[in-house]
Structure 1
Amino acid sequence: MRATLRWAHADLRSHRGEALFIVLATAGIVASLLLATALFGYATNPWQRVFTQSQGAHVWIHTGPSADAAGLAELDGVASVAGPYPIAAATLASRGTRASVELRGTVERPATGRPLLTSGRWLDPAVPDGVVLESGLARALWAEPGDTLTVPGTARTLTVVGLADSPEPRYSPGERPGLVWAPPAAVQRTDGHGGQVTGLRLTDPDDTDYAVQRAVTLLGAKAVTDVSNWQQARAEAQGGNRLLGQVLGLFGLAALLAAALAVHGAIGTRIRGHLRDISVLKAIGFTPAQVVRIFLLQHVAFALLGAVLAAALIQALGSRTPGRLGDAVGVWQGLPGHTAALLGVPLAAVLFIAATTGLAAWRAGQVP
Structure 2
Amino acid sequence: MRATLRWAHSDLRTHRGEALFLVLATAGVVASLLLATALFGYATNPWQRVFTQGRGAHVWLHTAPTADTAKLAALDGVEAVAGPFPSASATLASRGSRAAVELRGVSEQPSVGRPLLTAGHWLDATVPDGVVLESGLARALLAQPGDTLTEAGTARRLTVVGVADSAEPRYRPGEQRGLVWALPSAVPAPDARVIGMRLTDPEGTDYAVQRAVTVLGAGAIGEVSTWTQARAEAQGDYRLLGQVLGLFGLGALIAACLAVHGAIGTRIRGHLRDISVLKAIGFTPGQVVRVFLLQHLAYALLGAVAAAALTEALGERVPGRLGDAVGVWQGLPGHAMALFAVPVGVVLFIGATTGLAAWRAGRVPPVPVPRPAGPAGGR
1:41 matched to which residue of 2? 41
User: Does 2:168 align with 1:171?
Assistant: no
Helix, strand or coil at the partner of 1:262: helix
Task: Name the counterpart of 2:231.
Answer: 234
Deviates more, 1:226-235 or 1:8-17: 226-235
Query: How many residue pairs align between the two structures?
Result: 365
How far 1:160 moved relative to its partner?
Answer: 0.6
* Cross-structure match for 2:54: 54
The residue matched to 1:143 in structure 2 has which SS?
coil
Cα distance between partner residues in 2 of 1:147 and 1:319: 37
Q: Tell me, in whole angstroms, the C-alpha distance in 2 between the residues paired with 1:24 and 1:206.
A: 40
Distance 2:257 2:202 in 1: 38
Post-superposition offset of 1:3: 0.4
Corresponding position of 1:301: 298
CA contact (8 A) 2:102 2:177 kept: yes
Find 1:218's aligned residue among 215, 222, 225: 215
Greater displacement, 48-57 / 275-284 = 48-57
Q: Is the 8 A contact 2:123 2:161 kept in 1?
A: yes
AA aligned opposite 1:296 = L
Describe the SS at the equivalent of 1:73: helix
Q: 1:4 & 1:182 partners in 2: Cα distance?
A: 74
Amino acid paired to 1:338: H
Report the Cα distance in structure 2 between the residues aligned to 1:313 and 1:97, rounded to whole angstroms.
50
**After superposition, what is the alpha-carbon deviation per residue over 1:32-81, rounded to whole angstroms, capped at 9, x for unaligned?**
00000000010111111111111111100101111111111011111100
TM-score normalised by structure 2 residue count:
0.95
Greater C-alpha radius of gyration: 2
Q: Could you tell me how far 1:107 is from its partner in structure 2?
A: 0.9
Determine which of 268, 287, 291 is the counterpart of 1:271.
268
- The 5-angstrom pairing of residues 179-328 of structure 1 reads 179-188=179-188, 194-328=191-325
Structure 2 residue aligned with 1:95: 95
Q: Displaced runs of 4+ in structure 1, greater than 2 A?
A: none
Aligned to 1:81: 81
CA distance in 2 between partners of 1:241 and 1:164 (Å): 19
Among 323, 329, 332, the alignment partner of 1:332 is 329
For residues 366 and 187 of structure 1, the distance between their equivalents in structure 2, rounded to whole angstroms, comes to 83
CA distance in 1 between counterparts of 2:227 and 2:209 reads: 12
Partner of 1:363: 360
| SS of 1:222 mapped into structure 2 | helix
Shift in Å, 1:153 = 2.1
Distance 1:242 1:176 in 2: 21
Structure 1 vs Structure 2 CA RMSD: 0.8
Please give the alpha-carbon distance, in whole angstroms, between the structure 1 residues aligned to 2:320 and 2:203.
Answer: 34
Q: CA deviation at 1:203?
A: 0.7
Amino acid corresponding to residue 258 of structure 1 in structure 2: A
Q: Residues of 1 paired with 2:4 and 2:94: CA distance?
A: 78
Give the residue type in structure 2 aligned to 1:366. R
2:175 is matched by which residue type in structure 1? E
**8 Å CA contact retained: 2:59, 2:227:** yes
1:321 Cα shift? 1.1
Residue 88 of structure 1 and its aligned partner are, at CA, apart by 0.4
Counterpart AA for 1:177: R
The residue aligned with 1:143 is 143
For the residues of structure 2 that align with 1:104 and 1:199, how far apart are their CA atoms? 13
Is contact 2:90–2:152 with CA below 8 Å preserved after alignment? no
Could you give the per-residue CA deviations for residues 281-315 of structure 1, whole angstroms, max 9, x where no partner exists?
Answer: 00000000000011101100000010011111111
Worse-superposed segment, 272-281 or 314-323: 314-323
Q: Which runs of 5+ in 1 are unaligned?
A: none
Q: 1:162 Cα deviation (Å)? A: 0.6
| CA distance in 1: counterparts of 2:131 and 2:21, whole angstroms | 57
Structure 1 residue 131 corresponds to structure 2 residue 131: yes
State the shift of 1:125 in Å.
0.8
- Residue equivalent to 1:105: 105
Does 2:15 match 1:18? no
Say if 2:115 and 2:165, in contact at 8 Å, map to a contact too: yes
Q: TM-score, normalised by structure 1?
A: 0.98
Once the two structures are TM-superposed, the CA of residue 317 in structure 1 deviates from its matched residue by 1.2
Distance 2:207 2:41 in 1: 29
Deviations 1:206-236 (A, max 9, x none): 1111110110111111111111111111111
In the alignment, the residues of structure 2 paired with residue 303 and residue 237 of structure 1 have an alpha-carbon distance, to the nearest angstrom, of: 38
**AA in 2 matched with 1:143:** A
Query: Distance between the aligned counterparts of 1:323 and 1:48, measured in 2?
Result: 18
CA distance in 2, matches of 1:166, 1:209: 22
Partner of 1:27: 27
CA distance in 2 between counterparts of 1:246 and 1:175 reads: 27
Q: Equivalents in 2 of 1:75, 1:330: separation in Å? A: 30
TM superposition shift of 1:265? 0.5
Gaps of 5+ in 2: 366-379
